[in-house]
Structure 1
Amino acid sequence: MDDCIFDDNEICCGILEEFSDVRLEHLKELEIMCFSYLKHEMEFVKFILARSPKLKKVILYSIIVKDESDISTILSQAPRASPEEIVVRCITF
């Protein structure tokens, strides 16, 4: 995603529409390295949450320090396919 250029007004809308039929049936854990908390990255994580019925854990590795509770709140309000409580861990390196 780092190589992509996004217009803030059109962030990921084409991707969400184009892949609306995608189901990630076997995904149980998501780890993302070099997460920057940019809007298009957050939309990507929300997309994964909405398409992964067995997802239980999300780990975001970042060089930016963010409050984990803020990120957890944002992601917990996003539509999810998994009925499980999803554990979100933000790790800075």
Structure 2
Amino acid sequence: MNRISTLLIAVALPVAFAAPTIAQEGKTLGTVVNGNTTTTFKAADTRDIDTQKLKTWNAFAAGHPKVASALAHNPALINDDAYAKKHPQLGAFF
């Protein structure tokens, strides 16, 4: 009986945490009206996100916060050879 309870908890717990995420997809988060223009903000579709790449980037960003911050503020730096030479760890990452 104890094994069955553990198995049920092991299956139910991830489903319980995933359910709110699944329910939010396509949900309208807010609307802004500016003159004749209405902008509607909806939750992003997360089914096509490669979580392994996201985890890899998060690990790099945690180890190199200045580089991650600079790229967040100016993503074009990723193609800047001079910036890459100043930060060889970024070149090693890619």
Q: Do Structure 1 and Structure 2 share a fold, with TM-score over 0.5?
A: no
TM-score, L = length of structure 1: 0.22
